[in-house]
Structures are given as structure tokens and as C-alpha cells.
């Protein structure tokens, strides 16, 4: 078992850190809102630290799952200063590939290691311990930390050098954006055509149109229920990273750019904290339930 620190106890980090404790690791947590850390400590065997440095001191692995690039930088610097030699900083935040490369260089120069390891699977995946991890960085620290990540992840893949994990997560978000928009349009079309959406989904979900989004979101989309884990604000942050990277590498992403604008419409509608499946809300207001 390892001594680990976990920095950031949001909807993802809270259960992830919990699985580490359940697996028997010695866990110290930090969260910017102390009440959240106290709630975690009340639910799990672990210790709360008042600062990132206090959490990271002596840790073999320091995990972070925060909001964006600036948040990663805020916890990385104080943690790195106290981490033991050869310790590993694992960043589960969806952030820029440029930041990952820079922090990898900084950690290497200090005799430590950095892995960019964003996750997919959403709040449900975190709560069920079934996340997918896509990691960038050096092979040796990845091999050491992958068994620890196995406490909350069902699929852990070393993609390549520093930044590769973040680039893979961008691919993930590109794919999701197109699938959710396609599902929203399909359900809208079914409603306009007077079809029973349940019968339609029962038929097409067994064929080539099947997707995780279809299986898990079609009903809540037709009912206008968008109170899930991954908010539109966060998806727009991620798509911003995608489009910035595409401008740099020359990738042509017309669908991702269009869906990003559609999410901006949802924000204007008051849906900044709605789940990403809320793309359907910007389409016509016909009866989507078929009743």
C-alpha cells in the first residue's frame, strides 16, 4: 500500500480519493473548501491537510483533480517542493497539453515525475470506481502508479510522452460532442415526426447508432432532466482546449466548433450547470416524450 495525497475533492475527486482509502492506501486530502474535506474525512479513513504542501509532504504519489490549468499550477508548485525524490505527481484534471509538458519538465528537473492523466466516465464512473484513465509521461512512473489508480479506474492506458494524455482526452471530447448533438437531433426529429421515442430507441440502440449517450441519456433528454455531473461550463472549457490545440496543429474540426457554439446557446438559456446532454434544450420545444 502507498502513502498518497489527493488534491481536489469535487464530484470526481471525492469518490476517487474514497476508493484509494477503501483499497487500504494511506490517504491525505486537501480541498480549497475545508468543509468538503471534512465531509470526506467523516466518510472515509484518511486525514485532512490545510494546504497542498501539507498533504503532499512524504507522499509517494500526489493526485490532483481540480478545475483548469491555473488550478493545477496552484497546487503543483507547493506539492512539488515537498514531495520525496522519485515521487510522482498525477494530474487527473482535464487541462492543456502545453501545461502538461511544462510541468513534466519541471518535475523531471527536480528529480520527481509528472503524469498527465485525465479521466473519462463522468461522475457515475467516479462513484462506481470504473473510470478510464489516459496517461502521458514516462513509462516507469506510469507503471508504478497504474496499480494505485486501479482503485478507481477500470481502464488505464499509457498513451505516450508528456501531453499525450491530455491530447487523448481532447479526442474523447471531440467524439462526445458530435454524438450528443446527433442524439439530440435524432430525438428532436422523432418528436416532430410523431414517433414514440421509446420504441425508436429500442430499435436503433441495438444497431450501428448505439452509444453510451443513447443508452444512458435518451430518456432524461426527452424528459428535460439535466441534473448530472458534467456541466456545460466544463464542456466548453474542454472544447476551448480542443479548438486551441487544433489551431496549433492544423486539425479541421467543424463539428466540434459548431457544437461549442451550441453549448454557448445553452449557457445563454441559463444552462451553464446543466449536463452536456442539454444540447437538446436548444432545439424545438415540441413534445419529446411521445405522450
Identified catalytic residue from 70, 169, 206, 237: 169
How far, in whole angstroms, is CA 54 from its chain's centroid? 25
For residue 70, indicate whether it is catalytic. Answer: no
User: For residue 129, is it left (φ>0), alpha (ψ between -120 and 50) or beta?
Assistant: left
Residue 174's pLDDT band, with cuts at 50, 70 and 90, is very high
pLDDT at 290 over 70: no
Cα gap 174→171, rounded to integer Å: 5
SS3 140: helix
SS3 9: coil
Cα gap 116→89, rounded to integer Å: 9
Going from the C-alpha of 2 to that of each of 59, 60, 145, 243, 289, the distances in angstroms are 8, 7, 10, 38, 50
Kindly list the domain boundaries of the chain, sorted by start residue.
3-160, 167-282
Copy the grid coordinates of residue 110. 527536480
Contact 104, 162 (CB under 8 A): yes
The residue among 67, 89, 68, 65 whose CA lies nearest residue 78 is 89
Copy the grid coordinates of residue 22. 477503501
Q: What pTM was estimated for this model as a whole?
A: 0.94
Q: Which one is the CATH code of 3-160: 2.60.40.10, 3.40.50.720, 3.40.50.970, 3.40.190.10? A: 3.40.50.720
CA-based R_g, the chain, Å: 20
Model confidence over 100-135: pLDDT tens digits? 999 999 999 999 999 999 999 999 999 999 999 999
Cα gap 50→41, rounded to integer Å: 13
167-282 and 3-160 share a CATH fold: no
Q: What is the CATH number of domain 167-282?
A: 1.10.1040.10
- The secondary structure of 177-213, three-state, reads HHHHHHHHHHHHHHHHCCCCHHHHHHHHCCCCCCCHH
Provide mean pLDDT across the span 5-19. Answer: 97
pLDDT at 285 over 90: no
pLDDT of residue 288: 52
What letter does residue 84 receive in the DSSP assignment?
P
Model confidence over 47-106: pLDDT tens digits? 999 999 999 999 999 999 999 999 999 999 999 999 999 999 999 999 999 999 999 999
Amino acid at each position: 500500500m502507498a502513502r498518497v495525497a489527493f488534491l481536489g475533492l469535487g464530484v470526481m475527486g471525492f469518490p476517487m480519493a474514497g476508493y484509494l482509502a477503501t483499497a487500504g492506501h494511506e490517504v491525505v486530502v486537501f480541498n480549497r473548501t475545508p468543509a468538503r474535506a471534512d465531509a470526506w474525512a467523516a466518510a472515509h479513513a484518511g486525514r485532512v491537510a490545510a494546504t497542498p504542501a501539507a498533504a503532499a509532504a512524504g507522499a509517494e504519489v500526489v493526485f490532483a483533480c481540480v478545475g483548469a490549468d491555473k488550478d493545477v499550477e496552484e497546487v503543483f508548485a507547493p506539492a512539488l517542493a515537498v514531495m520525496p525524490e522519485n515521487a510522482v505527481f498525477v494530474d487527473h484534471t482535464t487541462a492543456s497539453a502545453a501545461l502538461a509538458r511544462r510541468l513534466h519538465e519541471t518535475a523531471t528537473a527536480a528529480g520527481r515525475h509528472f503524469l498527465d492523466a485525465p479521466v473519462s466516465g463522468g461522475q457515475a464512473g467516479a462513484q462506481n470506481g470504473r473510470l478510464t484513465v489516459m496517461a502521458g509521461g514516462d513509462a516507469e512512473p506510469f507503471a508504478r502508479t497504474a496499480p494505485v489508480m486501479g482503485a478507481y479506474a477500470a481502464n488505464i492506458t499509457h498513451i505516450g510522452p508528456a501531453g499525450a494524455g491530455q491530447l487523448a482526452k481532447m479526442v474523447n471530447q471531440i467524439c462526445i460532442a458530435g454524438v450528443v448533438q446527433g442524439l439530440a437531433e435524432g430525438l428532436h426529429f422523432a418528436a416532430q415526426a410523431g414517433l414514440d421515442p421509446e420504441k425508436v430507441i429500442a430499435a436503433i440502440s441495438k444497431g450501428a447508432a448505439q452509444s453510451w449517450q443513447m443508452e444512458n441519456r435518451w430518456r432524461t433528454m426527452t424528459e428535460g432532466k439535466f441534473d448530472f455531473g458534467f456541466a456545460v461550463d466544463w464542456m466548453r472549457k474542454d472544447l476551448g482546449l480542443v479548438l486551441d490545440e487544433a489551431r496549433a496543429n492544423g486539425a479541421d474540426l467543424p463539428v466540434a466548433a459548431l457544437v461549442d457554439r451550441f453549448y454557448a446557446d445553452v449557457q445563454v438559456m441559463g444552462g451553464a450547470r446543466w449536463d452536456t446532454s442539454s444540447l437538446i434544450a436548444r432545439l424545438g420545444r415540441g413534445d419529446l416524450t411521445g405522450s
